[in-house]
Amino acid sequence: MQRVPFWNYCVFVAAATLSIGYARAQSHPAEEPMVAEVSSGHAGGRLVLAMRSEPKTLNPVLAQDAPSRDVIRCLTADLIHINRGSQKTEPALAKSWTASRDGRQYTLRLRRGLRFSDGQPLDADDVVFSFQVYLDEKIDSSERDLLVVGGKPISVEKVDQYTVRFEMAQPDAAAERLFDGIAILPRHLLEGAYRKGEFANAWSVSMAPAEFAGLGPFRLKEYVPGQRIVLERNPYYWKEDGSGHRLPYLDEVVFLFVPNEDTQVIRFQAGDADILTRFSAENFAVLEKQQAAKHYHLDDLGAGLEYNFMFFNLNGVDPKAQPEIARKQEWFEDKRFRQAVSEAIDRDSIVRLVYNGRATPLWTQVTPGNRLWVDPAIAHPALSVAHGRELLRSAGFSWKSDGSLQDSHGRPVEFSILTSSSNAQRVKIATLIQDDLSKLGMNVQINSLEFHTMVDRLLTSHDYEAAVMGLVSGDADPTSEMNVWMSSGDTHLWHPNQTQPATPWEAEMDRLMQQQLVELDHSKRKRLYDRVQEIVADELPVICLVSPNILVGASDRVGNFHAAILDPYTLWNIDQLYIQ
């Protein structure tokens, strides 16, 4: 038998050890956490929040309601995140990315060494799996539409263990923002259910904490039906503060379920809840008086993204089927009529009486809170009934001896405003408008209908004359409102689903919206969208009225509290909050 030389043996052992070590390092590489720009704060403490209704599910792909999303945001993380404070995108799970020249391909590099909350490592397979689930037509996630660019869903491809490439059918200026909110799911826990077709039942609210694994700052600890949901710190969270301490600071977050906003306010006042997110102006007035005594502070953050408006039925209705409406459209389609209405509406009264002063008047759809897109050059014509009358006179209207308005054919100007009976504020706005327009001699009636009936009339039967409504964009970026401003859009409220733009200004808006979608230079995009805002302010397809301010409150002992006007307003930096 040949004896193996000793030093051969050593080399062999050394090589083996080295290769094993190398392999080990590859599967558990050193962690590359993200460093958040915060340095004050210390670990420990429990944050309590009162939530107006219970989350319906903890499945990020299926969740649609706000409470579910609020909790899920604390439990999961996305590749690229929109920093609510700056309203811009920043790296999250993806540490960097490159876009191809034509803007259709994005190659994202994941941070290495990250783990889910159950200790399992994260890699590109999880990313590919997550997108596969989100894009699956059978699962029908509401997020799926967001991932459809240029008519085709984006394609996802694994390049290597920590790199993923996304490809789109056409360039998208807001492509980075698509990734916000798309939670990366643990393949090791969910792939089984997905293959069996049982994904819809996965991650319900009552799941066992051990079944859950996420990349968010917290993980599920306890759920008591009808009462609360408790989250605990995720020991594997991939962010650390400026001094190298691993975030989050908080040990626990408790969401208490309360029946309504008034109870939320009562809990906050009593000190049972630490943060109050978005409450009404009346409650602000009540809470304001006791700020110092009860050691909490309130913030009025100014206008959010919501805009309330009035609009007229500009659909091409069949004169035989709906003769009254077709007749009145002769007035509605005249820009001077709409302008007169806009100038007669007292927006300051709406701000004062409906929102207790805690709202911002608007003349176009982008609110001052949307810092990246607001156009300060838009004109703000003052309240002027006299000028309104002049406009009407020039459009052929005249007044009878009793002061009522009639058109050039002698028919009295009367129409109805549709609004949802369940939204008390919109009904109030409509009541104020009714009174304002009576000064122009118009006889306005208010039809407050049950919400679903109203939607049916607006979008299906088009059986309405005017309506008061509001919209909130999901995101500050104009691309999230394509369906509103494109004439072919479903939510192009005054005349949806057009096959061809009905008016030259709608055709122009279509062009502008398509252009801004693919224009990658921000300043050029801004100019395009500014022009859209000008058209809206000038042609008045919607007469913008007010935007309610975002009102939040926090106990004095909550540190690093920097509320933002984008959803989720107060919890977006929950990993940086601490108890003083």
**The residue to which tokens 């997020």 are assigned:** 143
| Nearer of residues 57 and 234 to other proteins, judged by Cβ | 57
Nearer CB in complex with other proteins: 140/300:
140
Q: Does 323 bind other proteins (CB under 8 A)?
A: no
Distance in angstroms (rounded) separating the CA atoms of residues 498 and 388: 30
Q: With respect to other proteins, which residue has the nearer C-beta, 418 or 537?
A: 418
Under rule CB under 8 A, residue 324 binds other proteins: yes
Q: Which is nearer to other proteins, 249 or 415 (by Cβ)?
A: 415
Phi-psi region at 237: left, alpha or beta (left = phi > 0; alpha = psi -120 to 50): beta
Q: Is 146 in the site for other proteins (CB under 8 A)?
A: yes
**Which residue lies nearer to other proteins by CB, 466 or 577?**
466
Tell me: does residue 431 bind other proteins (CB under 8 A): yes
Eight-class DSSP state of 179: T
Decide if residue 258 touches other proteins (CB under 8 A). yes
Kindly state whether residue 465 participates in binding other proteins, applying the rule CB under 8 A. Answer: yes
First to last CA, the chain: 75
- Which of 114, 154, 183, 256 is the binder for other proteins (CB under 8 A)? 256
Nearer to other proteins, 163 or 263 (CB): 263
Tell me how far CA of residue 281 lies from CA of 67, 203, 429, 552, in angstroms. Answer: 21, 36, 15, 10
Among 430, 440, 546, 552, which residue sits at the site for other proteins (rule: CB under 8 A)? 430
- Contacting residue, 375, 463, 534, 539, with other proteins by CB under 8 A: 463
Q: Which is nearer to other proteins, 555 or 573 (CB)?
A: 555
Q: Give residues with Cβ within 8 angstroms of 211, minimum separation 6.
A: 189, 203
CA atoms within 13 Å, Cβ hemisphere of 340: 26
455 is a contact residue toward other proteins (CB under 8 A): yes
Residues whose CB is less than 8 angstroms from the CB of residue 566 and which lie 6 or more positions away in sequence, other chains included: 82, 84, 87, 304, 305, 475, 476, 572
Among positions 182-211, residues that touch other proteins (CB under 8 A) are 204
Q: Does 353 contact other proteins by CB under 8 A?
A: yes
Using DSSP bridges, classify how beta strands 34-35 and 239-240 pair: parallel, antiparallel or unpaired: parallel
Q: How far apart are CA 37 and CA 242, in angstroms?
A: 6
For other proteins, the closer of residues 164 and 258 by Cβ is 258
205 neighbors 56 (Cβ within 8 angstroms): yes
Total residues interacting with other proteins, rule: CB under 8 A: 81
**Segment near other proteins (CB under 8 A); pick from 24-32, 143-151, 162-170, 212-220:** 143-151
How far is it, in rounded angstroms, from Cα 66 to Cα 6? 69
Which one among 98, 291, 398, 445 touches other proteins, defined by CB under 8 A? 445
Query: Of 226-255, which residues contact other proteins (CB under 8 A)?
Result: 226-228
State yes or no: residue 482 binds other proteins (CB under 8 A).
Answer: yes
Q: Which stretch binds other proteins (CB under 8 A): 163-171, 185-193, 449-457, 521-529?
A: 449-457
State the nearest-atom distance from the C-beta of 446 to other proteins, in Å.
5
Residue 463: name the closest of 484, 447, 445 by CA: 447
Residue 381's region, left for phi above 0, alpha for psi from -120 to 50, else beta, is beta
Residues 492-531 binding other proteins (CB under 8 A) are none
Cβ of residue 312: shortest distance to other proteins, in angstroms?
13
445's enclosing H/E stretch is: strand 443-449
- Output 100 or 461, the one with its CB closest to other proteins: 461
**CB of 97 or CB of 307, closer to other proteins:** 307
For residue 122, the one-letter residue type is: L
Question: Binding other proteins by CB under 8 A: which of 167, 282, 539, 556?
Answer: 282
- Point out which span in 74-82, 88-96, 463-471, 502-510 binds other proteins (CB under 8 A): 463-471
Helix (H, G, I), strand (E, B) or coil at 84: coil
Q: Nearest-CA neighbor of 389 among 350, 425, 336?
A: 336
Residues 120-139 that bind other proteins (CB under 8 A): 137
18 lines the binding site for other proteins (CB under 8 A): no
Answer yes or no whether residue 220 interacts with other proteins by CB under 8 A: no
Q: Does 448 bind other proteins (CB under 8 A)?
A: yes
Q: Is 29 exposed, middle or buried (0-12, 13-18, 19+ CB in 10 A)?
A: middle
Nearer to other proteins, 123 or 477 (CB): 477
Taking the complex as a whole, the smallest distance from the CB of residue 450 to other proteins amounts, in Å, to 5
Segment interacting with other proteins (CB under 8 A) among 156-164, 371-379, 489-497, 506-514 = 489-497
Can you read off the two tokens belonging to residue 191? Answer: 């792939």
Bond from prior residue into 248 cis (ω within 30 degrees of 0): yes
Asked if 212 and 229 count as a contact pair (C-beta separation under 8 A), the reply is no
Q: Which is nearer to other proteins, 443 or 560 (CB)?
A: 443
Work out which of 17, 98, 260, 394 binds other proteins, going by CB under 8 A: 260
Binding other proteins (rule: CB under 8 A), the pick from 459, 502, 507, 520 is: 459
Quote the strand ranges of 136-250, DSSP E: 148-149, 152-153, 155-160, 163-167, 218-224, 228-233, 239-240
Q: Please tell me whether residue 132 adopts helix, strand or coil conformation.
A: helix
Asked if 364 interacts with other proteins (CB under 8 A), we say no
Q: Which is nearer to other proteins, 325 or 378 (CB)?
A: 325
| Window 55 to 114, contacts with other proteins (CB under 8 A) | 56-57, 62, 64-65
* Residue 19 to residue 467: CA distance in whole angstroms: 71
The dihedral formed by the CA atoms of 390, 391, 393 and 399, expressed in degrees to the nearest 10: -80
224 contacts other proteins (rule: CB under 8 A): yes
Question: From residue 389 to residue 428, what is the string marking binding to other proteins with x (rule CB under 8 A)?
Answer: ---------------------------x-x--xx-x--xx
Here the tokens at position 273 are 């809840």
Q: 3-class DSSP state for residue 74?
A: helix
Give 120 or 421: the residue with its C-beta nearer to other proteins: 421
Residue of 447, 488, 503, 560 that binds other proteins (CB under 8 A)? 447
